[in-house]
A and B are shown apart, each in its own frame.
Chain A
Amino acid sequence: ILNVEQSPQSLHVQEGDSTNFTCSFPSSNFYALHWYRWETAKSPEALFVMTLNGDEKKKGRISATLNTKEGYSYLYIKGSQPEDSATYLCAPYNTDKLIFGTGTRLQVFP
Protein backbone atom coordinates (compact mmCIF):
# COMPACT_ATOMS: atom_id res chain seq x y z
CA ILE A 1 0.00 0.00 0.00
CA LEU A 2 1.40 3.36 -1.00
CA ASN A 3 1.37 5.86 1.88
CA VAL A 4 0.73 9.44 0.85
CA GLU A 5 0.80 11.93 3.67
CA GLN A 6 -0.15 15.56 3.54
CA SER A 7 0.45 18.13 6.22
CA PRO A 8 -0.98 20.05 7.79
CA GLN A 9 -4.46 18.55 7.66
CA SER A 10 -6.00 22.00 7.88
CA LEU A 11 -4.80 25.55 7.83
CA HIS A 12 -6.44 28.88 8.61
CA VAL A 13 -4.74 32.01 7.34
CA GLN A 14 -5.55 35.67 6.90
CA GLU A 15 -5.98 37.20 3.48
CA GLY A 16 -2.59 38.29 2.20
CA ASP A 17 -0.61 35.65 4.11
CA SER A 18 1.60 33.27 2.20
CA THR A 19 1.35 29.60 3.04
CA ASN A 20 2.72 26.22 2.09
CA PHE A 21 1.81 22.57 2.49
CA THR A 22 3.73 19.32 2.22
CA CYS A 23 3.07 16.05 0.42
CA SER A 24 5.20 13.01 1.29
CA PHE A 25 5.21 9.84 -0.77
CA PRO A 26 7.41 6.78 -1.26
CA SER A 27 10.22 7.64 -3.65
CA SER A 28 10.50 4.16 -5.17
CA ASN A 29 8.80 3.56 -8.54
CA PHE A 30 8.01 7.24 -8.91
CA TYR A 31 6.40 8.26 -12.17
CA ALA A 32 4.52 11.54 -11.64
CA LEU A 33 3.05 13.70 -8.89
CA HIS A 34 -0.27 15.51 -9.28
CA TRP A 35 -1.70 18.41 -7.29
CA TYR A 36 -5.44 19.05 -7.34
CA ARG A 37 -7.57 21.83 -5.92
CA TRP A 38 -10.96 20.79 -4.57
CA GLU A 39 -13.49 23.45 -3.63
CA THR A 40 -16.46 22.53 -1.48
CA ALA A 41 -19.42 21.22 -3.52
CA LYS A 42 -17.31 21.06 -6.67
CA SER A 43 -15.00 18.44 -8.18
CA PRO A 44 -11.20 18.26 -8.03
CA GLU A 45 -9.34 20.36 -10.61
CA ALA A 46 -5.77 19.71 -11.66
CA LEU A 47 -3.20 22.31 -10.69
CA PHE A 48 0.06 20.66 -11.64
CA VAL A 49 1.50 17.42 -12.95
CA MET A 50 5.17 17.09 -12.09
CA THR A 51 7.55 14.40 -13.24
CA LEU A 52 11.18 15.47 -12.88
CA ASN A 53 13.22 15.75 -9.74
CA GLY A 54 13.73 19.44 -9.02
CA ASP A 55 10.68 20.41 -11.09
CA GLU A 56 9.12 23.69 -10.15
CA LYS A 57 5.78 24.75 -11.58
CA LYS A 58 3.81 27.96 -11.21
CA LYS A 59 0.27 29.06 -11.93
CA GLY A 60 -0.44 32.62 -10.85
CA ARG A 61 0.20 32.87 -7.11
CA ILE A 62 0.46 29.09 -6.68
CA SER A 63 3.67 27.18 -7.19
CA ALA A 64 4.95 23.69 -6.44
CA THR A 65 8.30 21.97 -6.14
CA LEU A 66 9.19 18.30 -6.37
CA ASN A 67 11.90 16.17 -4.81
CA THR A 68 11.58 12.62 -6.13
CA LYS A 69 14.72 11.31 -4.41
CA GLU A 70 13.44 12.01 -0.92
CA GLY A 71 9.75 11.73 -1.82
CA TYR A 72 8.18 15.09 -1.13
CA SER A 73 6.51 18.01 -2.84
CA TYR A 74 5.67 21.47 -1.53
CA LEU A 75 2.78 23.64 -2.65
CA TYR A 76 3.10 27.38 -2.03
CA ILE A 77 0.42 30.04 -2.19
CA LYS A 78 1.63 33.62 -2.19
CA GLY A 79 -0.67 36.33 -0.85
CA SER A 80 -3.62 34.00 -0.09
CA GLN A 81 -7.07 35.20 -1.09
CA PRO A 82 -10.47 33.99 0.18
CA GLU A 83 -11.06 32.32 -3.20
CA ASP A 84 -8.03 30.09 -2.50
CA SER A 85 -10.07 28.38 0.21
CA ALA A 86 -10.26 24.74 -0.81
CA THR A 87 -8.79 21.31 -0.10
CA TYR A 88 -5.49 20.72 -1.86
CA LEU A 89 -4.81 17.10 -2.77
CA CYS A 90 -1.58 15.55 -3.89
CA ALA A 91 -1.48 12.22 -5.70
CA PRO A 92 1.56 10.29 -6.87
CA TYR A 93 1.01 8.23 -9.98
CA ASN A 94 2.14 4.68 -9.30
CA THR A 95 1.41 1.39 -11.09
CA ASP A 96 -1.15 2.89 -13.45
CA LYS A 97 -3.16 4.83 -10.89
CA LEU A 98 -3.25 7.95 -8.78
CA ILE A 99 -3.04 7.45 -5.03
CA PHE A 100 -4.62 10.45 -3.36
CA GLY A 101 -3.55 11.88 -0.03
CA THR A 102 -6.09 13.07 2.53
CA GLY A 103 -5.54 16.67 1.52
CA THR A 104 -4.81 19.95 3.26
CA ARG A 105 -7.91 22.01 3.91
CA LEU A 106 -7.11 25.72 3.54
CA GLN A 107 -9.41 28.43 4.85
CA VAL A 108 -8.48 32.03 4.03
CA PHE A 109 -10.23 34.69 6.11
CA PRO A 110 -10.77 38.20 4.73
Chain B
Amino acid sequence: DTAVSQTPKYLVTQMGNDKSIKCEQNLGHDTMYWYKQDSKKFLKIMFSYNNKELIINETVPNRFSPKSPDKAHLNLHINSLELGDSAVYFCASSQQTGGDEQFFGPGTRLTVL
Protein backbone atom coordinates (compact mmCIF):
# COMPACT_ATOMS: atom_id res chain seq x y z
CA ASP B 1 0.00 0.00 0.00
CA THR B 2 1.32 3.41 -0.94
CA ALA B 3 1.53 5.60 2.16
CA VAL B 4 1.72 9.01 0.45
CA SER B 5 0.68 9.19 -3.18
CA GLN B 6 0.75 12.03 -5.64
CA THR B 7 -0.83 12.44 -9.05
CA PRO B 8 0.25 13.04 -11.67
CA LYS B 9 3.88 11.93 -11.55
CA TYR B 10 4.76 14.07 -14.56
CA LEU B 11 3.03 17.21 -15.75
CA VAL B 12 4.00 19.10 -18.88
CA THR B 13 2.05 22.22 -19.66
CA GLN B 14 2.17 25.60 -21.36
CA MET B 15 2.85 28.92 -19.69
CA GLY B 16 -0.30 30.60 -18.50
CA ASN B 17 -2.24 27.39 -17.87
CA ASP B 18 -3.79 26.40 -14.55
CA LYS B 19 -2.97 22.96 -13.15
CA SER B 20 -3.48 20.91 -9.98
CA ILE B 21 -1.42 18.27 -8.24
CA LYS B 22 -3.18 15.90 -5.87
CA CYS B 23 -1.81 14.28 -2.74
CA GLU B 24 -3.31 11.60 -0.53
CA GLN B 25 -1.97 9.85 2.57
CA ASN B 26 -3.39 6.70 4.12
CA LEU B 27 -1.31 6.86 7.30
CA GLY B 28 -3.93 8.58 9.40
CA HIS B 29 -1.64 11.56 9.88
CA ASP B 30 -2.90 14.97 10.94
CA THR B 31 -0.33 17.12 9.16
CA MET B 32 0.48 17.42 5.47
CA TYR B 33 3.04 19.48 3.57
CA TRP B 34 4.02 20.69 0.13
CA TYR B 35 7.71 21.09 -0.72
CA LYS B 36 9.39 22.39 -3.83
CA GLN B 37 12.74 21.02 -4.95
CA ASP B 38 14.41 23.97 -6.56
CA SER B 39 17.01 24.11 -9.32
CA LYS B 40 19.81 23.70 -6.76
CA LYS B 41 18.12 20.55 -5.44
CA PHE B 42 17.10 22.20 -2.16
CA LEU B 43 13.86 21.00 -0.61
CA LYS B 44 11.90 24.04 0.54
CA ILE B 45 8.65 24.08 2.45
CA MET B 46 5.76 25.83 0.73
CA PHE B 47 2.72 25.03 2.86
CA SER B 48 1.64 22.85 5.71
CA TYR B 49 -1.81 21.94 6.97
CA ASN B 50 -2.81 20.44 10.27
CA ASN B 51 -6.26 18.88 10.39
CA LYS B 52 -7.31 20.79 7.26
CA GLU B 53 -6.11 24.13 8.64
CA LEU B 54 -3.27 26.11 7.10
CA ILE B 55 -0.38 26.52 9.54
CA ILE B 56 2.56 27.40 7.32
CA ASN B 57 2.43 29.59 4.25
CA GLU B 58 5.96 30.45 3.16
CA THR B 59 6.76 33.23 0.76
CA VAL B 60 5.05 31.61 -2.18
CA PRO B 61 3.32 33.54 -5.00
CA ASN B 62 -0.43 33.61 -4.46
CA ARG B 63 -0.81 31.84 -7.78
CA PHE B 64 -0.20 28.75 -5.63
CA SER B 65 -3.22 27.75 -3.59
CA PRO B 66 -3.34 24.65 -1.43
CA LYS B 67 -6.64 22.99 -0.61
CA SER B 68 -7.30 20.35 2.02
CA PRO B 69 -10.77 18.84 1.64
CA ASP B 70 -10.05 16.44 4.51
CA LYS B 71 -7.01 15.57 6.55
CA ALA B 72 -6.01 12.75 4.18
CA HIS B 73 -5.76 15.02 1.15
CA LEU B 74 -3.78 18.13 0.33
CA ASN B 75 -3.98 19.38 -3.23
CA LEU B 76 -1.93 22.10 -4.85
CA HIS B 77 -3.48 24.32 -7.47
CA ILE B 78 -1.29 26.61 -9.54
CA ASN B 79 -2.74 29.44 -11.62
CA SER B 80 -1.10 31.17 -14.58
CA LEU B 81 1.91 28.87 -14.68
CA GLU B 82 5.29 30.47 -15.35
CA LEU B 83 8.56 28.99 -16.62
CA GLY B 84 10.08 29.38 -13.17
CA ASP B 85 7.46 27.08 -11.68
CA SER B 86 9.18 24.12 -13.35
CA ALA B 87 10.40 21.93 -10.50
CA VAL B 88 9.69 18.73 -8.63
CA TYR B 89 6.96 19.12 -6.02
CA PHE B 90 6.83 16.75 -3.07
CA CYS B 91 3.93 16.13 -0.75
CA ALA B 92 4.63 14.80 2.75
CA SER B 93 2.74 13.96 5.91
CA SER B 94 3.51 13.49 9.60
CA GLN B 95 1.57 12.31 12.62
CA GLN B 96 1.49 15.79 14.14
CA THR B 97 3.34 19.05 13.82
CA GLY B 98 6.18 19.52 16.28
CA GLY B 99 8.96 17.71 14.50
CA ASP B 100 7.54 14.22 13.87
CA GLU B 101 9.23 12.34 11.04
CA GLN B 102 7.78 13.11 7.67
CA PHE B 103 6.74 10.62 5.01
CA PHE B 104 7.22 11.81 1.47
CA GLY B 105 5.29 11.11 -1.70
CA PRO B 106 7.07 10.16 -4.94
CA GLY B 107 7.12 13.71 -6.28
CA THR B 108 5.52 15.41 -9.29
CA ARG B 109 7.84 16.75 -11.96
CA LEU B 110 6.25 19.87 -13.41
CA THR B 111 7.61 21.25 -16.67
CA VAL B 112 6.29 24.55 -17.94
CA LEU B 113 7.01 25.24 -21.62
Contact = CB atoms under 8 A, between A and B. Distances in A.
Interface residues of B, number: 23
Interface in B97-113: 97-107
Nearest to B100: A49
A43 B101 contact: no
Interface residues of A, number: 19
Contacts of A103: 41
Interface string A70-100: 0000000000000000000100010011111
A102 B45 contact: no
Contacts of A34: 99, 101-102
Given A43-B106, A43-B107, A89 B101 contact: no
Interface string B19-62: 00000000000000000000011111100100000011010000
A100 to B, nearest CB: 4
Contacts of B101: 34, 46, 49
10 tightest A-B CB contacts, nearest first: A32-B99, A46-B101, A43-B104, A93-B99, A100-B43, A97-B45, A44-B104, A49-B101, A43-B106, A31-B99
Interface of A: 31-32, 34, 42-46, 49, 51, 89, 93, 96-100, 102-103
